[in-house]
Structure 1
Amino acid sequence: MRNIAMTRKVDSLGRFGMPKEILYTVDIRPGDSVEIFMDAEASTISLGKYIGQACKFCQSTEVLSTFKNSLICNECKSQMIATQKDKQNQQPKEVMTQLLLVLLEKYPDATQQEYSDMLRIPIARLRNLCQTITQNKNNEKEIKSNPGINSSILKRRG
């Protein structure tokens, strides 16, 4: 930990201003509560962010656990784990493209929103997959129109 020394004048009511840099360094924001500790023997006063007994995200007081100096309830914790698993389970682009092709054949009249719901992906990603399919089809046409190209290239690209 780096020691930083700064001086501030105490006003007639016993108040002093805390530098913003220090507050941001210890994650104290406007509206946060602060704990004050005093060591009479060493004549020191310590300040710290008051964590309290509530979840950092939803302010729940039910079944709390500590994570990186913050209290988190089981519900927020499980949501964080589920979000992390969703990120890990994202399908590679090629697999998603193949799934979309199957859906296009099976449900040719479906809307983009319906395809998006079936694949459980955002519409923006669906549109990206559609562009990939279109590009692949254009590449296949280009290769087939040029008889000098080896058919093994078609298998690798398509």
Structure 2
Amino acid sequence: MKKEVPKNHFTIGINDDVTHTSISYDPDFSIEPADRTRAVFYGLGSDGTVGANKNSIKIIGEETDNYAQGYFVYDSRKAGSLTISHLRFGPTPIHSTYLVNRANFVACHQFSFLERYDVLKTSQPGAVFLLNSSYSADEVWDHLSYSIQETIIEKKLR
């Protein structure tokens, strides 16, 4: 785009091996304001995660000066399947029509999800990671896989 004659038609975000119009981009680029909370919650259908997050968004939007948005992804069978709640809230209007992809808070309500899903994929560096676990705070690290430990260290998750 900085060229004297920029490309007129291009593709971004995928490797376009058909028309070869892909351009490189910074995968860490974000247009969301720094003061906006972006949270992703991984739950199990019928465990109350979606309902609690819907209530939270309603309360935040109605009872505080913050704007709020929630997107909820779940299987139509709901009970026993993965649910993912994408929440945003902050002091300015929210016009994001896409799921959260750089969360500053990630919660995983089922320990077993760590091996089945990439729950840390959406976490931005320095994000807070909340894990529901039957292990004590002193024991949980030893029960995490090496790849999860590595991601937590690399992203400096708290």
Q: TM-score, normalized by length of structure 1?
A: 0.17
Which entry has the higher C-alpha Rg, 1 or 2?
1
- The structure in which a higher percent of residues are strand is 2
Q: Higher helix proportion, which one? A: 1
